[in-house]
Amino acid sequence: MELLLYTALFAPLVGSLFAALFGASPKTLLTGVVTSLLLGVSLVASTILLVFVISSGQFVHVEMMTWITAGDLYIPFGFIVDQISVTMMMVVTLVSTVVHVYAIGYMDHDKGFNRFFSWLSAFVFSMMVLVMSDNFAGLFIGWEGVGLCSWGLIGFWYKKESATWAANEAFIMNRIADLGMLIGIFLIYWNTGTLQYHEAFAAMPALETATLVWIGIFLFVGAMGKSAQFPLHTWLADAMEGPTPVSALIHAATMVTAGVYLVVRSHELYALIPNVGLFIASLGTFVAIFAATMALVNRDIKRVIAYSTLSQLGYMFAAAGLGAYWVALFHLMAHAFFKALLFLGAGNVMHAMSDELDPFKMGALGKTMKGTMILMTLASVALAGIFPLAGFFSKDLILEVAFIDGHYIIYTVLLLTAGLTAFYSFRIIALIFHGEDRHTSLGFHPHEAYKFMLIAVTPLAILAVIAGALQGSYYEYVTLLLPSTEYHIHSSLVYWTMTIGTQLFVIASIIFAYKKYMSKSVKVPDGTSAMEKSFFYKLLINQYYIPYFYEEYLVKPYRELSTVFWKQVDQKIVDATVDSIANVIYHTGENTRNMQSGNLSTMLKWMVAGLVALLSLAVVFGLATRHSDEIMLILSGLGV
Amino acid sequence: MMEIGLNHYLILSTILFSIGLIGVMRRKNLLMLFFATEILLNSVNISFAAISHYYGDLTGQMFAFFVIAIAASEVAVGLGLLIVWHKRHNEIDLDLMSTMKG
Amino acid sequence: MFEAIAFYLFAFLTIVMFYITVTTSQALYALSALAAGMIFISAFFFILGADFLGAVQIVVYSGAVMALYAFGMMFFDTTRDVKEKKGNKYLITGLATLAAILVVVIVSAPLIGENISAYYPMTEGAGNTQEIGMVLFTKYLVPFELAAVMLLVAMISGIVLAGKKMDLSLTLMSDREIIEMREEKNKKVLL
């Protein structure tokens, strides 16, 4: 079992290092194949571990080696496979393997082919460290590792200015949040004396509530950065600068869910402070509807899908905040499948349309890209939450949780968001695949993606469909660790009204979207229509002017401050001090050089001066030696 | 004041020594520099002889004796070099003799 | 009393002479003043009872050394005034005085501390010259011989440096070569 754990953990690392050997060479297909195979190995290992955990209900806990022992602090490199982490492992390895195979086709003509796979496998390794670690320090290592690999992958086309800027923005925002997380970790260590999960959580009920609230808040700040909750959300939309497989893996299925994982892992903590949980849930709900509104009008298909991710993350946090941790984890799992599927399909579309992103310039692509159309439609249906696909079982469950606990505001907002989700998802589908052909006149000649790419993506599609059916067995095994609150609405009338009402609402939104965007009067908007001039449109398409606000009021003053510190403090004070020390020595040398003038008269003068100096020294020392006793007396009187 | 003691001779020697040093530092002409050096040597001779007389020891006079011998040979060599230089450059100004600059 | 008068007189004269040597702008005046100063210093030696030393001072210093300087002066243009350095007067005087005082202090420190004892005491009755002879040829024999060698070396170096046409050696040439050389010279003169 330990061997399986190490295999699952280190296979991606081996793949990454192997691909890194070829980093500077032109594309070699071998790197893609080897890394995908190694990820497949990791997937197999994770599956076996899953079966083991389900069947025996036991953990697999190893301590690989000690990392830090300093005084009372003891931090090992330890890994644990329990129900939570094995779920995450499955999700991560499955989506990663699919994405790797897909990327062999997607990055076909890219010069940085080998480098891409190295970064991608390194990312998977960091994510595995994150989810498999058994203490907060290991979690943090993985946390930073995924941040780094995400930076490398978003800025993969580093010659593009916008890509490097987006990568920096993502990394810096994550770092800001990591400060909060570090403070949380410090507080945990300070108060409980250990960073191991089970020991820390065992010690927590004995702490004061105020301390626990602070720990909870700070840890959640870290989760806010990673999972792009408001106000640290702007990086997620800009992260679409990276290649589409990156968006599929990182910004749909794995990195952004790390925040949710953290909250779920710390469920024992958050169970003790329900007020913080309520705050988390409210923030999550706010983000859900906030992101959904921004996706309504956006003209970039990847950005729409990114906002959709943001919205669904809000759902997950809402569930976690309300105490339904297993529901949050389940939605995380289902969401990973259909969102990755959606991204990969969008990647196909982009590839076909030579990286064009505006759906208004597409249209009637369903005729040439049947496979992609089917996949994306499936994913969108799952996302909308239509029975019997996966989304229904996870999203609607969250709605039920909100309703049962009596948080009607949260329930209403989430319901509304579900409608909006359906609308914007199918807006995109309609604009791309149906309606009039707008792309041929603009000079695009689309073609379907490689067959193997479509085949690689099929497992995701299958899972998106059937994941709902796994809910029962999932519940069985995960609640061995997580609190097992069953959410039953007692009155079946209310239950059925709710369920059917939700479905009808969602289906109505879908039909509305189809009608609006499949009609023949859809044109490429050029800024003149009444809709584009309206206030709400402008507000939404500029993302509520939040990026503008950050740029004007945060980035610019900070840059000014940095320039002041650089020019005034660093150059004028620090450098000047160091330089002046050197200058003193240099000028002393220059001036004393004149002593050797070659002029005998001057040198004779110097000789006499030197003579006087030495003679006075001789006299002084002679006198001191003669009267040394009295001198010692005086010195001892002074206390030397 | 009437009684000449060792101190008188020592003071005299001091005065002559400082005159010699002033000459050494002031003179630009090399020959004049040599003259000043002679003054230095003589002042020291006086002081040696005086101490030897007042303490009844002959060592001072021996020393002065050898100083005279050495001064003589030094003058011979020094003048020889001076003459060679003068033949080459036709002047013996110290400020113009600064080829050994640092 | 005579001693006092003699001392002060000769002291005054010596200081004046040496002062002239150091400050005058005429080279000849400096030379003459230096010679005079040497003589007056020998007077001090006689006052102190160092007869041999005084005699040597006159013979060697005023005689040989000053003669050497006088011959050397003939090479240079003595009608020109000697230029002086424009140095800082006070600095020079101050430095010189300080140095002098310090030297004397150091030299006389054993005297003040009365740590001095006579190594080669003077014997009563014998003349100064005899005593010097006794000490010179017994205790100071080696320095004496070395000084002799050194004087020889100085003499040779003086001749070599100042002489001209030293490549021909009359004593080593045969008679015939000397006659040939003479005829060559005559030819040049006649033609």
> Tens digits of per-residue pLDDT, A554-570?
888 899 999 988 888 88
Residues of A in contact with C103 (CB under 8 A): 615
- What are the beta bridge partners of residue A79? A62, A133
Residue keyed to tokens 């909006």? A420
H or E segment to which residue A478 belongs:
helix A471-478
Q: Which two tokens stand for residue A346?
A: 């969008």
Judged by average pLDDT, the poorest of A214-218, A260-264, A626-630, B18-22 is A626-630
Q: What is the mean pLDDT of chain A?
A: 85
Q: What pLDDT is attached to residue C118?
A: 62
Average the pLDDT over A488-499 and give the result: 76
Q: pLDDT of C13-64, one tens digit each?
A: 999 999 999 988 888 899 999 999 999 999 999 998 888 999 999 999 999 9
- Is position B101 within any domain? no
Q: What is the pLDDT of residue C7?
A: 92
Strand-pair partners of A66: A76
Q: Which residues of A touch B102 (CB under 8 A)?
A: 593-598
What per-residue string of b and e applies to A104-123 under the rule 16 or more CB within 10 Å gives b? bbbbeeeebbbbbbbbbbbb
Whether A524 has a pLDDT exceeding 80, the answer reads no
Q: Rounded mean pLDDT of C110-136?
A: 68
B1 domain residue, yes or no? no
Does A608 sit within 8 Å of B101, measured CB to CB?
A: no
Q: A450-454, A607-611, C44-48, C143-147 — which is least confidently predicted?
A: A450-454
Q: Please tell me the distance from the alpha carbon of residue C159 to that of residue C147, in angstroms, as a whole number.
A: 18
Q: What is the pLDDT of residue C114?
A: 64
CA distance A215 to A270: 10
Cβ contact C162–B83 (<8 Å): yes
Q: Dihedral of CA B29/B30/B35/B41: which sign? A: positive
Instruction: List the single residue in A601, A615, A618 with the smallest CB-CB distance to C99.
Output: A615
Residue-wise pLDDT tens digits, A2-13? 888 888 899 999
Domain that holds residue B35: 6-96
Closest CB to B73 among C21, C27, C151: C151
**Largest pairwise CA distance in chain A:** 119
Number of domains in chain B: 1
pLDDT at A329 over 60: yes
pLDDT tier for residue A464 given thresholds of 50, 70 and 90: confident
Q: How far is A585 from chain B (nearest CA, A)?
A: 18
**Better-predicted residue by pLDDT, C124 or A214:** A214
pLDDT of residue B1: 61
Mean pLDDT computed over A206-210: 86
- Is C85 in Cβ contact with A615 (below 8 Å)? no
Integer distance in angstroms from the first to the last C-alpha of chain C? 75
Query: Which sign does the torsion angle of CA A241, A244, A245, A248 carry?
Result: positive
Instruction: Report pLDDT for A129.
Output: 92
pLDDT-derived band at A462 (thresholds 50, 70, 90) equals confident
Distance between CA atoms of residues A222 and A174, nearest Å: 8
Where residue C190 falls among pLDDT bands split at 50, 70, 90?
low
Any idea what the CATH number is for the domain that residue B25 is in? 1.10.287.3510
Amino acid letter for position A228: A
| Residue B23 C-alpha, separation from nearest chain C C-alpha, in angstroms | 5
Does some domain include residue B89? Answer: yes
**What per-residue confidence (pLDDT) applies to A500?**
84
SS (H, E, C) A327-395: HHHHHHHHHHHHHHHHHHHHHHHHHHCCCCCCHHHCCCHHHCCHHHHHHHHHHHHHHHCCCCCHHHHHH
Angle formed at CA A49 by CA A47 and CA A53, multiple of 5 degrees:
120
Closest chain A residue to the Cα of C100, Cα to Cα? A612
If one compares C146 and A543, the residue with the highest pLDDT of the two is C146
Q: Report which of A44, A9, A252, A27 is spatially closest to residue A121, judged by C-alpha positions.
A: A9
* pLDDT value of position C33: 94
**Between chains, do B12 and C53 touch, taking CB under 8 Å as contact?**
no
- Asked whether residue B25 is assigned to any structural domain, the reply reads yes
pLDDT greater than 90 at residue A182 = yes
pLDDT digit string, tens, across residues A232-290: 888 888 888 888 898 888 877 787 788 899 998 888 888 888 888 889 999 999 999 98
In angstroms, rounded to a whole number, what is the distance separating the alpha carbons of residues C3 and C6?
5
- Percent of all residues in chain A with a pLDDT value above 90, rounded to a whole number: 16
Please report, in tens digits, the pLDDT of each residue of chain B (102 residues total): 678 888 889 889 989 998 998 888 888 888 888 999 999 999 999 999 998 888 878 888 889 999 999 999 999 899 888 888 888 887 777 777 777 775
Chain B CB within 8 Å of residue A3 CB: no
Instruction: With a cut of 70, say whether residue A79 has pLDDT above it.
Output: yes
pLDDT at B73: 92
SS (H, E, C) C87-154: CCHHHHHHHHHHHHHHHHHHHHHHHHCCCCCCCCECCCCCCHHHHHHHHHHHCCHHHHHHHHHHHHHH
Structure tokens at A392: 């229904």
Give the Cβ contact number of residue A380 at 10 Å: 28
Band of residue C127 on the pLDDT scale cut at 50, 70, 90: low
Residue A487's pLDDT band, with cuts at 50, 70 and 90, is low
B14 in a structural domain:
yes
Single-letter residue type at A525: P
Residues of chain B neighbouring C119 (CB-CB closer than 8 A): 57, 59
Could you tell me if residue B102 is inside a domain? Answer: no
Phi and psi (nearest 5°) for B57? -115, 135
Closest alpha carbon within chain A to C103: A615
Residues A215/A269, Cβ–Cβ less than 8 Å: yes
Contact (CB, 8 A) for A400 and A499: no
**Cβ contact C150:B73 at 8 Å:** yes
Q: Please, which residues 17-46 of chain C have a Cβ atom closer than 8 Å to chain B?
A: 18-19, 21-23, 27, 30-31, 34, 37-38, 41, 44-45
Q: How many angstroms separate the CA of residue C100 from the nearest CA in chain A?
A: 9
Residue B66 resides in a domain: yes
The single residue listed with the structure tokens 């729409």 is: A304
Q: Quick check: C135 and B81 CB within 8 A?
A: no
| Range from A140-154, A261-275, A352-366, C100-114 carrying the lowest mean pLDDT | C100-114
Give the DSSP letter string of B35-68. Answer: HHHHHHHHHHHHHHHHHHHHHTBSHHHHHHHHHH
Q: Identify the band that residue A490 occupies on the pLDDT scale cut at 50, 70 and 90.
A: low
Alpha carbon distance A225, A325 (integer Å): 20
Name the strand (E) or helix (H) holding C30: helix C27-47
Residue C17: its pLDDT value, please? Answer: 95
pLDDT at C117: 63
Give buried/exposed letters for A5-40 (b at 16+ CB in 10 A, else e).
bebbbebbbbbbebbbebeeeebeeebbebbbebbb
CA distance B102 to chain A (A): 4
CB-based contact C99 A611, cutoff 8 Å: yes
* B101 vs A596, A604, A608: nearest CB: A596
* Rounded Cα–Cα distance for residues A252 and A259 (Å): 13
Give the per-residue pLDDT at A634.
Answer: 81
Nearest CB neighbour to A604, from listed B24, B95, B100 = B24
Q: What is the pTM of this model?
A: 0.69
Q: Where are the alpha helices (DSSP H) in A57-196?
A: 83-106, 113-132, 136-154, 161-192
CB A334 within 8 A of CB A464: yes
Q: What is the ipTM of this complex?
A: 0.88
β-partners of residue A133 are A79
Given a contact cutoff of 8 angstroms between Cβ atoms, the answer to whether A523 and A360 are in contact is yes
Tokens of A514: 């189809």
Looking at the complex, does the CB of residue A597 fall below 8 Å from at least one CB of chain B?
yes
Is some CB atom of chain A closer than 8 A to the CB atom of C103?
yes
Nearest residue in A to C108, CA atom: A619
What SS3 class is residue A63? strand
Cβ within 8 Å of residue A388, ≥6 positions away: A465, A468, A469
Q: How confident is the model at residue C78 (pLDDT cuts 50, 70, 90)?
A: low
Q: 10 Å Cβ neighbour count for A512?
A: 15
CB contact under 8 A, B58 and C69: no
Residue B77 domain flag:
yes
Helix or strand run (H / E) with residue A79: strand A73-81
> DSSP labels for A242-300?
S-HHHHHIIIIISGGGHHHHHHHHTHHHHHH-HHHHHHHHHHHHHHHHHHHHHHHH---
